[in-house]
Structure 1
């Protein structure tokens, strides 16, 4: 399969945003990848998921189910599950704690991949993985459409940064690395300039 220009897909969907953003990790950034806009087109979602599925198949890893943390990971995870022809479930926060609900069950020894839309530090993916492991599932891999460059993905020369929360012994698959400025919320130059961080998806964005 020809290598896809993932950045161009984001640009085409007006999903590579510039401004002052609050990330799910709590950090701030001047750039935001709004994957929901890319996945708005089912044909594009299918193309990206198939490319990601190909990486996983070529690795030899065989999984039984994909789990994604809500809300951002649901579309990417479902499309990847469809491309791999496996079951799909998702976790969601209840009173701040990531939880498996809606009758979802994990079989003991069932092999899982945890899929996000964007992997930043991997914190939400790790919380979803913990839900699976508590019910006896086994985590074989993590995946995302894009990797913010803090975690080491398969096929990239980038090294793992201290901020990455994903384990070293479990592979991460992603289509591309996106390296953007990221700031601690207590030491953000954009805040010092007087602007306020927004989280896309809120305030009508």
Structure 2
């Protein structure tokens, strides 16, 4: 499966000057919503992701995703695995579990995102699950932006990766893009203004 080709064909591989949810800047942006707007393609991708997880003998009960970006990928992964699905969401900038969702003590979870950058949002969701007595046994995403170690791709983590090293991450592909702090961003120095094309902007 050529994930880069899929993103480009869906016009989801964007080039410009982007503000990421982490607050950092990048010349490239993966707009997974454009990929997941096709239910047939979403199902295909998440079935492949489910296959990778099962091939690595990961046993789990449920899937949880951080809203908003991870919801479609997480739901399709849960459907492919015939598992329960819940999501966390930010309230006053803090990740919370609402809408009557519950976590049982000892319940095993995969935390699923559309894209993993540093893994901050996924880690926030994991901490919510663990605080309620659940166990996070793995992380999953359609794509990794090159910062976190991916078990099935045998990649190594970088200094700013936030996911714990003792819990595996599974993805369909790796996109190794440069990201910059705002004060060190070469695009900003050229006079360009970063835009946020994801769920928190346009």
TM-score (norm 1): 0.96
- In the TM superposition, 1:38-77 aligns within 5 A as 38-77=35-74
Question: 1:155 matched to which residue of 2?
Answer: 152
Q: Distance in 1 between matches of 2:176 and 2:117?
A: 10
Q: Distance in 1 between matches of 2:65 and 2:37?
A: 18
Greater shift after overlay, 21-30 or 194-203? 194-203
The answer to whether the Cα contact below 8 Å between 2:52 and 2:152 also exists between their aligned partners in 1 is no
Residue 202 of structure 1 and its aligned partner are, at CA, apart by: 6.6
The answer to whether the Cα contact below 8 Å between 2:68 and 2:199 also exists between their aligned partners in 1 is no
Question: 1:111 matched to which residue of 2?
Answer: 108
* Residues 56, 65 of structure 1: alpha-carbon distance in 2 compared, 3 angstrom cutoff: same
Number of equivalent positions = 202
Compute the RMSD of aligned alpha carbons. 1.2
Residue 181 of structure 1 and its aligned partner are, at CA, apart by: 1.7
Task: Tell whether 2:10 aligns with 1:19.
Answer: no
Q: Secondary structure at the match of 2:5?
A: helix
1:153-177 CA-to-partner distances (Å, cap 9, x unmatched) read: 0122421101100001000000000
Residue 204 of structure 1 and its aligned partner are, at CA, apart by: 7.6
Residue 25 of structure 1 and its aligned partner are, at CA, apart by: 0.9
* Residues 25, 204 of structure 1: alpha-carbon distance in 2 compared, 3 angstrom cutoff: closer
Task: Tell whether 2:182 aligns with 1:194.
Answer: no
Residue 185 of structure 1 and its aligned partner are, at CA, apart by: 1.3
Task: Tell whether 2:146 aligns with 1:144.
Answer: no
TM-score (norm 2): 0.97
* Residues 186, 204 of structure 1: alpha-carbon distance in 2 compared, 3 angstrom cutoff: closer
Q: Distance in 1 between matches of 2:124 and 2:178?
A: 25
Task: Tell whether 2:91 aligns with 1:98.
Answer: no
Which structure 1 residue ranges, 5 or more long, are not aligned?
none
1:91-115 CA-to-partner distances (Å, cap 9, x unmatched) read: 0000010000000000000000000
Q: Distance in 2 between matches of 1:64 and 1:158?
A: 27
Match of 1:128 among 120, 125, 128: 125
